[in-house]
Amino acid sequence: MSGLWEDVFCNAQLLEEVAPIAVDSALLQGVLMRTKESPNSSDVVNFAPFTLLPSPVPRSLFEQAKSVQEDFNLLVDRLSQNPTFLEQTLNSAMKVDDFIERLFKVYRHVLDDGLSQSVFLGINRSDYMFDCKENGTTALKQIEINTIAASFGGLSSRTPAVHQHVLRTLGKSEEANKILSNNPSLGISRGIAKAWELYGSQKAVVMLLVENVQRNIFDHRCIENELWSRNIKVIRRRLTDVYERGILDEKKHLYVDGYEVAVAYFRTGYMPQDYNEQGWEARLMMERSMAVKCPDIATQLVGTKKVQQELSRPHILEKFLPDFPEAVARIRETFAGLYSLDIGEEGDQTVKIALANPEQYVLKPQREGGGNNIYGDEIREVLEKVRNTSERTSYILMDKIKPKPVRNCLLKANGQIQISECISELGMFGVYVRQGGEMVLNERVGHLLRTKATEHADGGVAAGVAVLDNPYLV
């Protein structure tokens, strides 16, 4: 696989010629981010980092990831409806992780109040890598499932055209025609529009909850523009705006700046630093409302690493999908080895295996957003520190997935043209809408490929490590 574009990578002059064409194509297509220097202004923007050429992905594994996405949608939805499972699973993590405890406190409040929300919208992204075994075969293994603020559905809708154009300029028209069409922003907006419609008020709006720093605004705008094209009004607000100017009426309708909110779509709220006390108050107000939250607090909790680890235990999936044995088999096939660090014999054994061979594992805290995982000797350092304390329960241990590196050229703003050994991560976007007990919509709506140089253990596109890519199926 690594020899796919060797004729290009071995020709320095050709690389110098084609790289500016690729960058201009990305700018033309709107593959854009704001700059670090002016993160809240679109006066100066630059291209989002991307690969010069698409990366090879085994066709069978891509199809497998596609085929299991609707199963994961169904699983996430069912888990979100089971407070007992969530409480039991997250009980140990809550005791040592203030953020998980705070989320669960909001959740308990909502349960005590009684749910006002009757329409539920899930927009998730299940992320995988291709594990290369010693016999040379590869297997699809899930890294995580993102149930809140799953990003790059917008920009990944624009990248296929960039790689098609680059390949054509290289005289590779046949290869250009094999680039998959991909439009997650259309599918995501369709799900939001369906939830808005079921909410039942033509005057109500979709509210994007956004960060204070908004470098990735164009990714949001792709989805917003699709909603505007359906004549659905979209507003953008921060959590503090909701606290300061949000009102919950006696019927639990949510109003912000006088607008009734039908759907609150979170593109923030997944990290502790996203909240101050006002932010937590705003989150509670929204959760108590009739507005369709994407995600509601229960669905956000489903996305925790501890839930992921618990699902890998024998017979757990069957409890939630007893009517779908084929789905259980498809989901289980994607699981890597996952191990509990809870206090007790099982957790002690996990510590032991991790300390003996840290390079075989990844230590994962209960955090979203990339750049949080711990590798190699650092695992030993962390576990030596927490092995005899309850703090270890804020982590899970996972088998380290070992993909086969391939060569590509990563294009970053103000960066040198550099060929690197790279690994890729494939994400599948899923959308579902449930009204009461009825699943109204359940779809896989597109994919995302991110690629990074092998010298980086962790980190995503927003962190400046990975870059946007397209799969070239082989």
Q: How far apart are CA 106 and CA 55, in angstroms?
A: 42
Q: Among residues 34, 125, 392, 407, which one is catalytic?
A: 125
Q: Among residues 369, 371, 376, 459, which one is catalytic?
A: 369
Q: Among residues 146, 189, 424, 470, which one is catalytic?
A: 146
The reply to whether 364 belongs to the active site is yes
Q: How far apart are CA 209 and CA 292, in angstroms?
A: 13
Q: How far apart are CA 28 and CA 381, in angstroms?
A: 47
Q: Among residues 221, 267, 293, 305, which one is catalytic?
A: 305
The reply to whether 293 belongs to the active site is no
Q: Among residues 70, 211, 224, 368, which one is catalytic?
A: 368
Q: Among residues 55, 92, 151, 442, which one is catalytic?
A: 151
Q: Among residues 158, 283, 364, 392, which one is catalytic?
A: 364
Asked if 184 and 446 touch (Cβ cutoff 8 Å), the reply is yes
Choose among 352, 388, 382, 372: nearest CA to 305.
372
The reply to whether 146 belongs to the active site is yes
Can you give the chain as a three-state secondary structure string? CCCCCHHHHCCHHHHHHHHHHHHHHHHHHCCEEECCCCCCCCCCEEECCEECCCEEECHHHHHHHHHHHHHHHHHHHHHHCCHHHHHHHHHHHHHHCHHHHHHHHHHHHHHHHCCCCCEEEEEEEEEEEEEECCCCCEEEEEEEEECCCCCCCCHHHCHHHHHHHHHHHCCCHHHHCCCCCCCHHHHHHHHHHHHHHHHCCCCCEEEEECCCCCCCHHHHHHHHHHHHHCCCCEEEECHHHHHHHEEECCCCCEEECCEEEEEEEECCCCCHHHCCHHHHHHHHHHHHCCCEEECCHHHHHHCCHHHHHHHCCCCHHHHHCCCCHHHHHHHHHCCCCEEECCCCHHHHHHHHHHHHCHHHEEEEECCCCCCCCEECHHHHHHHHHHCCCHHHHHEEEEECCCCCCEEEEEECCCCCCCEEEEEEEEEEEEEEEEECCEEEEEEEEEEEEEEEECCCCCCCCCCCCCEEECEEEC
The reply to whether 450 belongs to the active site is yes
Q: Among residues 30, 34, 92, 144, which one is catalytic?
A: 144
The reply to whether 125 belongs to the active site is yes
CB crowding 366-404: b at 16 or more within 10 Å, else e: bbbbbeebbeeeebbebbeebbeeeebbbbbbbebbbbe
The reply to whether 144 belongs to the active site is yes
The reply to whether 368 belongs to the active site is yes
219 phi, psi to nearest 5 deg: -65, -40
Q: Where in the sequence numbering do the catalytic residues fall?
A: 125, 144, 146, 151, 305, 364, 368-369, 450
